[in-house]
Amino acid sequence: MSILSSKNILLGISAGIAAYKTASLVRAFIKAGANVKVVMTPASKDFVTPLTLSTLSKNPVHSTFYNEDDENAEWNNHVELGLWADYLIIAPATANTLSKMANGTCDNLLLATYLSAKCPVYFAPAMDLDMYKHPSTKNTFTTLQSFGNIMIPATSGELASGLVGQGRLAEPEDIVTFIENDILGKLPLKGKTILITAGPTHEALDPVRFIGNHSSGKMGFEIAKASASLGANVILITGPTNQQVNHSLIQVVPVVSAQNMYDAAHTYYKNVDVAILSAAVADYKPKEISNKKIKKSDTTFVLELEKTKDILASLGEVKQKQLLVGFALETNNELEYAKGKLKKKNLDLIVLNSLKDKGAGFKSDTNKVTIIDKEFNIKAYELKSKAEVAKDILREVINKLDA
């Protein structure tokens, strides 16, 4: 899955022959999983039709502040378009449009949207060779980049005028790749590897029965997705769960039992930067596992249990450079138990859940956590979606990595 998946892409199109490539560019963004809206300069409609772009993007295409043919038409709000966008990409960006962007000229909807956008802005120049080389154009490039705008360089080749040289709009696939790489390169966890455990473990009694718990794995999966969105390479070791994830930066390692999870965690742990153990691992397992289904006979059934290996403590014992994060789910004396676990298991952070808090715990889409570091600094958070809780946890992880 692309880093652009679920992102809002606003594509601005100015009036150059290269506008014909924008149909393919919209398709490339859609293929990457992005949501796409299009804003065109009025003159760009001579090169590619709004109907084509609206069909491909599945959104209306905007080119004027209002529909002059409809006296009851609503105003196309450039501020709302700019706020909707996670990224604004202007492609093709002609010399005329770029000059206006650099000088604050605002004579069409695209330029008004650009001037009000709060998101990162990418521009992909497309023009003839002599225009591309002109000193005024080079000054425009420098000015726009000084504003924080990101330039996607034009390529060399045969141009519409017949000249051969730099000025061709980058190919749609190359534009998408450029943006993906640029975003990834700036993400705070780029180059970091994070191990995450999630879900329950199932401890077999016989071939058809097991001891387990109510963990859904949602919290761990949200942490994995949030880590990948921040650029990390993620190893997600998960017990049996219905949760799913599809991301190029997430490697899913399915396991069943506590022993399976222990083995997998130790296999990968030595090569990671951060380990976040959110799985609800069984504390006990049957001492004997029947190789045949246990028949119902007596009115009572005595089951002898033995402790499973403590994965979190074992990783704390061999910890070297890793940042180790554990979870504590408690029902009473929560802070005291969490602080004791933090120290005893050699953790850097512990995330405390209380089953007393409504909306927290297993199977819920929300969670309420308190994060404690090894200096016993405490941060308590309000009830939030597990996706937002994941961001809070990773914010604390990033702060510790940067410290």
CB 94 within 8 A of CB 126: yes
Which pTM was predicted?
0.78
Q: What is the pLDDT of residue 340?
A: 94
Point out the residues that are catalytic.
Answer: 213
Compute the distance between CA of residue 183 and CA of residue 297 in angstroms, rounded to an integer.
63
Encode pLDDT of 2-22 as tens digits.
889 889 999 999 999 999 999
Say yes or no to pLDDT of 78 above 90.
no
Q: What is the pLDDT of residue 68?
A: 60
Q: What is the pLDDT of residue 161?
A: 74
What's the whole-number mean pLDDT along residues 262-285? 97
What average pLDDT score do residues 347-373 get?
83
Q: Which residues of 165-198 are buried (b: 16+ CB within 10 A; e: fewer)?
A: ebbbbbebeebbebbeeebbeeeebeebbbbbbb
Sign of the C-alpha dihedral, residues 118, 122, 128, 130? positive
pLDDT digits (tens, 9 = 90+) for 29-39: 999 999 999 99
pLDDT of 360 = 65
pLDDT at 44: 96
Residue 363, pLDDT > 80, answer no
Question: Tell me: the pLDDT tens digits for 308-327?
Answer: 999 999 999 999 999 999 99
pLDDT at 357: 67
Q: Where residue 361 falls among pLDDT bands split at 50, 70, 90?
A: low
In the structure, what pLDDT confidence band is assigned to residue 247 with cuts at 50, 70 and 90?
confident
pLDDT at residue 76 in the model: 59
- Say if residue 190's pLDDT is above 80: yes
Q: Is the pLDDT of residue 165 over 80?
A: no
| Domain architecture of the chain: domains with CATH | 8-186 (3.40.50.1950), 193-402 (3.40.50.10300)
Does 206 score more than 60 pLDDT? yes
